[in-house]
Amino acid sequence: MKNSIKWSLVAILSTILIAGASCEKSIDDEGGSKYYEYFLSTYQSMDLALETGLEDEQGKIYSIQIGSGENVQFFTSPDYPNPSHVAQFLKIAARNGDTDFKRMDNSTSWNSRMALSDNLVSIHITSNNDWDETHPAGTPLDDLFEITMNSFTEFIRNGYAFESTSPQPDPVIRGARKIVKPVSELTPDELAIIQRDPLFIVLSTPTLAEEHTLTFTLTNTDGKEYILTKTVKPTRPDWLTENTSF
């Protein structure tokens, strides 16, 4: 059963990667190009919610994702078809330094580039229950979760270019640096301009309590905190190795 779950997930992820590559090809071939003032097309408001992801046959979750809340809003560029909340978009774009793109770009690719509206400086995770002997209730669990996210910070703030090729930029999303690391290792620069829907993988199965109400605290540059909670039964995937990432 364990092997079948593992290979099913591998097959799913392979399909996603193939689909992504096909999508990128179709974007290049069929999207058409237009002149755009701004690199990002859309910012999503900070109305967020935690969503469970992969789980085992007992309903224990391997991953959790920060998704959109019920009252989410989207602030779009004046170049966007039927733009909305343009004044808010312009304010955020100026704060992010995304005002000098001013070039031709593929329309389909540009329309899909979206980031959270706030510049974050940290993400912290805690639980209401003891996780293990070294992680009692209320203490940070940042080292026990691995984040996978795309960051636009470097590309935008370096004049729409990467300073280096390591780690590898995301092959599908232009201008995105793919970040895969424990939450405890995140830096404010990486978090400043991030694509929506970051994913978190459980790195360690709890040994003292099975069920946990997890609290994710996202803090922005002004010190404002966004608190997200969800009750789950987390477990480390048995197919996860040190060389495995999403």
Asked if residue 241 is part of any domain, the answer here is: no
Q: What pLDDT does residue 3 have?
A: 45
Q: How far apart are CA 149 and CA 179, in angstroms?
A: 5
Asked if residue 240 is part of any domain, the answer here is: no
Within 8 A by CB and 6+ apart from 44, the residues are: 68, 72, 73, 74, 75, 114, 115, 116, 117, 196
Cα angle, residue 107 at apex, residues 194 and 110 outer, rounded to 5° = 5
Instruction: Please give the residue range of the domain that contains residue 82.
Output: 2-232
Asked if residue 69 is part of any domain, the answer here is: yes
Q: Token pair for residue 243?
A: 């060389």
pLDDT in tens, the chain (246 residues): 444 444 444 444 444 333 443 343 333 444 589 999 999 999 999 999 999 988 888 889 999 999 999 999 999 999 999 999 999 999 999 999 999 999 999 999 999 999 999 999 999 999 999 999 999 999 999 999 999 999 999 999 999 998 876 666 777 788 999 999 999 999 999 999 999 999 999 999 999 999 999 999 999 999 999 999 999 999 998 877 654 444
Q: Cβ-count burial of 157 within 10 angstroms (0-12 exposed, 13-18 middle, 19+ buried)?
A: middle
Q: Cβ-count burial of 168 within 10 angstroms (0-12 exposed, 13-18 middle, 19+ buried)?
A: exposed
Asked if residue 246 is part of any domain, the answer here is: no
Asked if residue 151 is part of any domain, the answer here is: yes
**Tally of domains in the chain:** 1
Within 8 A by CB and 6+ apart from 71, the residues are: 45, 47
Asked if residue 243 is part of any domain, the answer here is: no
Q: What pLDDT does residue 20 have?
A: 43
Asked if residue 39 is part of any domain, the answer here is: yes
Q: What pLDDT does residue 36 have?
A: 97
Q: Token pair for residue 208?
A: 């003292």
Nearest to 174, CA basis, from 190, 154, 189? 154
Asked if residue 182 is part of any domain, the answer here is: yes
Q: How far apart are CA 216 and CA 200, in angstroms?
A: 11
